[in-house]
Amino acid sequence: MAANEREPLFSPKNLKLITNPINVDNPITKQVLGICSALAVTVKLEPAIVMSISVLAVMAFGNLIISLMRNGIPSRIRIIVQLVVIAALVILVDQVLKAYAYDVSKQLSVFVGLIITNCIIMGRFEAFAMANKPWPSFLDGLGNAFGYAWILIAVAFFRELFGSGALMGYQIIPDSFYDMGYVNNGLVILPPMALFAVAAIIWVQRSRNKELIED
């Protein structure tokens, strides 16, 4: 038995924790978590990437910490304990961003703080970290953060490309296009376009994977 208890770090079961949330169990398109920030920071690619990394850090380490403490948390006050853990991690992330990426931190404005109430994090704490060992929880955090990140980055990619003809601030669409009468699509920069973009992702994903369709 003793030999069986130590499963390898990247056993198939653990790998599934990472791959599942990226596709079929995606936090945004399936679990409907963490949508607030996903939509608001996707006008440009750079803030979206920074936001993804911030969420990744908070998520993975938050899951790890909660999982380490899970047997000591009284269930009546667990929400407060979880909030304090997240808030402490978010303060760290915020201070790091202010120190090393001040411009992006200004662009993200309140949305860094709103990672605290990002439902993905609370949702994964409740659903996974409170009931699982530290290592799987860490992987689950990573997986869900990746699932969140690719949607964010995909949406931001299209919005920046079509909205301002650039990626990461560098112009992609050549000047000759503009000379021929190409115009940036101003609609894509407006907030509602993020919703249409996510709806399109959901549409594609669900038509490829029929079992996700709601009745």
Partner 1 sequence: MQDLVNIFVKSIFVDNMVFAYFLGMCSYLAVSKTVKTSVGLGAAVIFVLIITVPVDYLMNQYLLAPGALVWLGAEYASVDLSFLSFIMFIAIIASMVQLVEMIVEKFSPSLYASLGIFLPLIAVNCAILGGSLFMQQREYQSIAEATAFGLGSGIGWFLAIVAIAAIREKIRYSNVPAPLRGLGITFVITGIMGLAFMTFMGIKL
Residues in touch with partner 1 (CB under 8 A): 29, 32-37, 39-40, 79-80, 83-84, 87-88, 90-91, 94-95, 109-110, 113-114, 116-119, 122, 190-196, 198-199, 202-207, 212-215
Q: Evaluate the CA torsion angle 154, 34, 198, 32 in order and state its sign.
A: positive
Which C-beta is closer to partner 1: that of 169 or that of 186?
Answer: 186
DSSP percent split of the chain into helix, strand, coil, nearest 5: 70, 0, 25
Which C-beta is closer to partner 1: that of 11 or that of 109?
Answer: 109
Please, what is the minimum distance in Å from the beta carbon of residue 114 to partner 1?
A: 5
Distance, CA of 115 to CA of 168 (rounded, Å):
23
Please, what is the minimum distance in Å from the beta carbon of residue 175 to partner 1?
A: 30
Please, what is the minimum distance in Å from the beta carbon of residue 146 to partner 1?
A: 19
Which C-beta is closer to partner 1: that of 135 or that of 150?
Answer: 150
Which C-beta is closer to partner 1: that of 14 or that of 31?
Answer: 31
Distance, CA of 94 to CA of 128 (rounded, Å):
25
Please, what is the minimum distance in Å from the beta carbon of residue 10 to partner 1?
A: 31
Helix and strand element counts for the chain (H, E)? 12, 2
Distance, CA of 191 to CA of 59 (rounded, Å):
26
The residue with tokens 């920030």 is 37
